[in-house]
Amino acid sequence: MLSLPYRILWSNRQRIFALSVLELSSRYASSVLGALWIVVFPLFFLSIYAYVYLFVFKVQAANVDSLTLILIIFGALVPFISFQETLSVGAMTIVSNKPLVNGTLFPIEILPPRVALSSFPVLFVGLALVIVTRIFQGQASLTLLLLPVAIALQFLFLCGIAWLVSTMTVFFRDFGQIVGLLSVVLMLLSPIGYSREQVPDTLGWISLINPLFYMIEFYRDILIRGDIDPKIAVTWVITAFGTFHIGFFLFERLKLLFADYV
């Protein structure tokens, strides 16, 4: 049973990839900028965050220049945007595909992973910008070799999230609206504009129960710090795999009821 979700993803990998490409093509087909939104969107968010935290709140970090501080923010913002997109789009992925749900041959388990994969172009572009900048700074570290591990863990985590929220929305349609509020709350509670060193001890418990804290800090350890915190890494691995299996288990247990509710 534990190997089932991996076997489903592997056996349907070409179909998932094709569906993701189709999703992205249809998303940008009618827009003026087209696929350039993949670059513009994260840069727009970065400019807002940089302005608010650097010039309004005047956030500073010890022994860190302004460019590195911007990279600290961007290194957290990019994976969060990927998560946010999966959360919002994934919530509606089952209820918006009624013909596929009512069919008997199509493996609907791959619809949520398709959403997760579709969020990755923004992630890849953002990570590439951070890496290139770190290279020009002369601050690139061997921890960058762990970046594929971070991306794989995020994919597992996002698949689990997409399975969970898509299942919840089938039975509770208001949940599709709630995820919008949830993403805003998580954006404020996650260490995007600040690092774990800046979290007050009295509020540390919020970080400990926030899975995005571990995802973001793991990316920062790889991209910026060049040193992996074992506690952060181990907790994130457990969280990613745990979310993946819990989401798939819930989806599998309830998918036979989907046709009665969509």
Q: What are phi and psi of 227, to 5 degrees?
A: -150, 125
Looking at residue 173, the DSSP 8-state letter turns out to be: T
> How many domains is the chain partitioned into structurally?
1
Per-residue CA distances from 67 to 38, 137, 166, 182, 224 (Å) = 22, 9, 39, 30, 11
Q: What is the pLDDT of residues 43-59, one digit of tens each?
A: 777 777 667 766 665 66
Residue 29 has pLDDT above 70, yes or no: no
Does 23 fall in a domain?
Answer: no
DSSP 37-58: HHHHHHHHHHHHHHIIIIIIS-
Does 27 fall in a domain?
Answer: no
Q: What is the pLDDT of residue 253?
A: 93
Does 31 fall in a domain?
Answer: no
Q: What is the pLDDT of residues 106-145, one digit of tens each?
A: 889 999 999 999 999 889 988 998 898 889 888 888 999 9
* Residue 74 CB contacts under 8 Å (≥ 6 apart), including other chains: 42, 46, 126, 129, 130
Residue 170 has pLDDT above 80, yes or no: yes
If you average pLDDT over each of 22-36, 86-100, 132-146, 152-166, which comes out highest?
A: 152-166
Q: What is the pLDDT of residue 33?
A: 64
Can you tell me the mean pLDDT for 219-224? 94
Does 30 fall in a domain?
Answer: no
Q: What is the pLDDT of residue 163?
A: 97
Residue 218 has pLDDT above 70, yes or no: yes
Does 14 fall in a domain?
Answer: no
Does 183 fall in a domain?
Answer: yes
Q: What is the pLDDT of residue 54?
A: 66
Q: What is the pLDDT of residue 231?
A: 95
Residue 104 has pLDDT above 70, yes or no: no
Query: Domain limits at 107?
Result: 37-260
The counts of H helices and E strands in the chain are 12, 0
Q: What is the pLDDT of residue 12?
A: 94
Does 122 fall in a domain?
Answer: yes
Q: What is the pLDDT of residues 72-100, one digit of tens each?
A: 888 888 999 999 999 999 999 999 888 88
Among residues of the chain, what percentage have pLDDT more than 70?
89
Question: Nearest CA to 18 among 137, 113, 92, 89?
Answer: 113
The token duo for 181 is: 């509020």
* Residue 69 CB contacts under 8 Å (≥ 6 apart), including other chains: 53, 54, 59, 60, 61
The token duo for 4 is: 């089932």
Cβ neighbours, 10 Å, residue 206: 14
Looking at residue 224, the DSSP 8-state letter turns out to be: I
> Structure pTM?
0.91
